Amino acid sequence: MSLNINTTIQQMLNAMKTEAAGGWDKIKDASNSFLQAHKQRLQQLADQRLNNEIDDDFLKARLADEEDILKAELIAEKIITESAAQQAINAAFSVLETAILNAL
């Protein structure tokens, strides 16, 4: 038996799209980029199970970990976005501050 990882990833994206419904647009890019970036890793897990190098329980535990990795990556993205927003807002206020002081 073999597994076509590209077909499987497309099926995973379809399942996410169905489940996320109205919120799909918000997570579409992050989900797609996560699955593409982890394609090799997911293929590796599948191959290991198909070759009997790992058992069902171990595979299930690692797949659950992949979900947690996605969560961790989304949290990291949130932190980076908030950091960029903070710096942009403070830079804008700094310009305003300078403009007011120069006008005094």
Partner 1 sequence: MKTKFLVSVFTVLVFISCKVSFVPDYDASVEQQIIDGAKANDKIYLELLADSVDRSYAKYSPEYTDVQAEINSIDLKIQASKHPKDMHMLDSMLLVHFIKYRDEHKQAKTPLNNAMIIDYQADIKAFWLALLKAEQGLPHSTSN
When asked if residue 63 is in the footprint of partner 1 (CB under 8 A), the reply is no
Distances (CA, A) of 51 to 1, 2, 3, 21, 69: 10, 10, 12, 36, 24
* CA-based nearest residue to 34, from 80, 84, 75, 81: 75
Asked if 60 touches partner 1 (CB under 8 A), the answer is no
2-31: contacts with partner 1 (CB under 8 A): none
What is the rounded distance in angstroms from the CA atom of residue 34 to the CA atom of residue 56?
A: 24
The one segment of 5-13, 19-27, 96-104 that binds partner 1 by CB under 8 A: 96-104
Residues of the shown chain interacting with partner 1 in the complex, contacts defined by CB under 8 A: 41, 44-45, 48, 51, 53-54, 58, 61-62, 65-66, 68-69, 71-73, 75-76, 78-80, 82-87, 89-90, 93-94, 96-97, 100-101, 104
